[in-house]
Amino acid sequence: MTSIPVARRSPGTQCLSSTSRLTMRLLAAVLLVALAQGCASVPKRNPVPDQRSEDAVIPGIQRARSWGDEKPAYADTWMAKSKEELQAEYPHLFGKPHNYLAISGGGANGAFGAGLLKGWAEAGTRPEFDMVTGISTGALTAPFAFLGPEYDDVIEHIYTSYSTKDLVKKRMPITAVTSDALGNTKKLADLIAKFMDDDLMRALADEHRKGRNLVIGTTNLDVERPVNWNIARIAASGEPFAYDLVRQIILASASIPVAFPPVAIEVEVDGRQYDELHVDGGTASQVILYPAGIPWNEVLKKLEVPGTPNVFVIRNSRLDPKAVAVNRKLFPIASRTIDSLIRTQGIGDLYRIFALTKRDGLEFHLAYIPKEFDEMPTEVFDPVYMRKLFDLGYEMARSGYEWQKTPPDF
8: pLDDT strictly greater than 70: no
Res 295 pLDDT > 80: yes
> What is the rounded distance in angstroms from the CA atom of residue 1 to the CA atom of residue 123?
13
What's the chain's average pLDDT? Answer: 88
Neighbours of 287 (CB within 10 A): 29
For residues 79 and 358, the answer to whether their CB atoms sit within 8 Å is no
pLDDT score at 28: 58
CB hemisphere CA count around 225 (13 angstroms): 15
Strand boundaries in 296-340, DSSP class E:
310-318
The residues that bridge with 364 in the sheet, in sequence order, are 311
pLDDT digits (tens, 9 = 90+) for 307-348: 999 999 999 999 988 888 989 988 788 778 878 888 889 999
Band (pLDDT 50/70/90 cuts) for residue 410 is confident
> Residue 49: what pLDDT?
94
Closest CA to 216 of 186, 178, 255: 255
Measured CA to CA, the distance from residue 359 to residue 120 in angstroms comes to: 28
Q: Which helix (H) or strand (E) holds 227?
A: strand 225-230
CA 187 – CA 114 distance, rounded (Å): 21
> Residue 335 — φ and ψ, nearest 5°?
-60, -45
Q: What percent of the chain has pLDDT over 90?
A: 71
Average pLDDT of the residues in 254-280: 91
3-state DSSP of 334-400: HHHHHHHHHHHHHHHHHHHHHHHHHHHCCEEEEEEECCCCCCCCCCCCCHHHHHHHHHHHHHHHHCC
- Residue 30: band (very low, low, confident or very high) from pLDDT cuts 50, 70, 90: low
Query: Is the pLDDT assigned to residue 15 strictly greater than 60?
Result: no
Between 398 and 184, where is the model more confident? 398
371, 325 in Cβ contact below 8 A?
no
> What are 353-396's pLDDT values in tens digits?
999 999 999 999 999 999 999 898 888 899 999 999 999 999 99
Q: Minimal CA–CA distance to 134: which of 155, 120, 150, 119?
A: 155
Asked whether the predicted pLDDT for residue 266 surpasses 80, the reply is yes
* CB of 219 closer than 8 Å to CB of 278: yes
DSSP per residue over 173-205, as a string? Answer: HHHHHTSS-SEE-HHHHHHHHHHS-HHHHHHHH
- Find, among 161, 342, 194, 187, the residue nearest to 261 by Cα: 187
Q: What is the pLDDT of residue 185?
A: 84
Q: What confidence tens digit (pLDDT) does each residue in 169-209 have?
A: 776 665 655 666 567 788 999 999 999 999 999 999 999 99
Q: Which residue has the higher pLDDT, 407 or 334?
A: 407
User: CA-based angle 364:118:101, to the nearest 5?
Assistant: 30
**How many CB atoms are closer than 10 A to CB 88?**
12
